Structure 1
Amino acid sequence: MKSAPSLISAALLLLLASPALASQAALGWFKSQGYVGPEGTRIIACHGYGCSRRQAVSVDGAWLGRATALLRAARATPSAERNALAQVVSSYTAYLASSIGGKPDLPGSPAQMSGVHGQMDCLDETANTTSLLIVLETKGLLAHHQVERPESRGFFLDGRYPHFSAVIVEKGSGQEWAVDPWRRAPGQRPEILPLAQWRQNS
């Protein structure tokens, strides 16, 4: 029979070897919005503005293999992991655009593109980015960060249009970071910046 310390050590090793659990706060955001969170590597991608159009997309196979390699090679520091995440998210936005089809998504969600197939506003971008981050987290690919509930800034009365972003938090320091591809075309590097700074931007 194993001793108590041995059993504890075995349990810790099993926990460390298992995929991370997805953030319940992030998953709860999907429910509060009436959106569908990811299941396994299946993402219900939002487009058309306000998730008015939805399409199932799988982030597995060769694409996930490349993302895995990038993130595993960047485990030395939180900064290195964020840089790798920027590469993964840029690849993901290009992959989504190709999978969904239609005219490539225009940055900044021009009003005249509302309802158009393949066009994404900040809510679509936030849902899609958060879905990806949850997949990466549950696969155990985020060593230094965990996925949090998306955040918003602006509320008309302060002269700013409401805007949303996906959020991660650095495990060691507790610093929160916005992961925001909204101002970028598919395949371009997203903004990843301290959430406090993101909140001040317009």
Structure 2
Amino acid sequence: MVVLSKIYTKTGDAGETALGNGARVAKHSARVNAYGTVDEANATFGLARLHAEGEMDARLAAIQNDLFDLGADLCRPDMEKDTEADYPPLRMSDAQVARLESEIDAMNAALEPLRSFVLPGGSALAAHLHLCRTVTRRAERLAVELATMEMINPAAVKYLNRLSDWCFVASRIANDDGRADVLWVPGANR
């Protein structure tokens, strides 16, 4: 259980922060950028939830929890030492990726195929889901960059990749099952 009794610690005042294994790194390190952007993505999902109801809200809540799991995964380096840890670090799983894939398939079954690219917008929920999608894509790029420097859990990158796809399909659902999508018209304003 996490207990946060004191919110400020002053330990980051010199531009460093602690990772999940206790190591101190610069706040601008690739690892901190990756999990910090996952946190930013999580905040955008919170905004989207302001416009969601029922099953969509429940799915968004599950994603927010997953994103906290993902942040915990990314803030804990030294995957090769997981078996030596006093307690097993929280790692993303292929089951979480598979759940997203299943949800994407179910949502996509209700949609007509696209004949053009979709512009971010339409309903308030759809617009927020597009914001979720783009911040998630940035988190994915940063996680992929981190993976070129250090070992990270491959399921973390897969999850981010599927999540951005999930957001796109969910935005179409939020736009009256795609009927209210705002379509791109190439060269319309020339």
TM-score w.r.t. length of structure 2? 0.29
User: Bigger radius of gyration, 1 or 2?
Assistant: 2
Q: Which has the higher strand share?
A: 1
Q: Which has the higher helix share?
A: 2
TM-score w.r.t. length of structure 1? 0.28
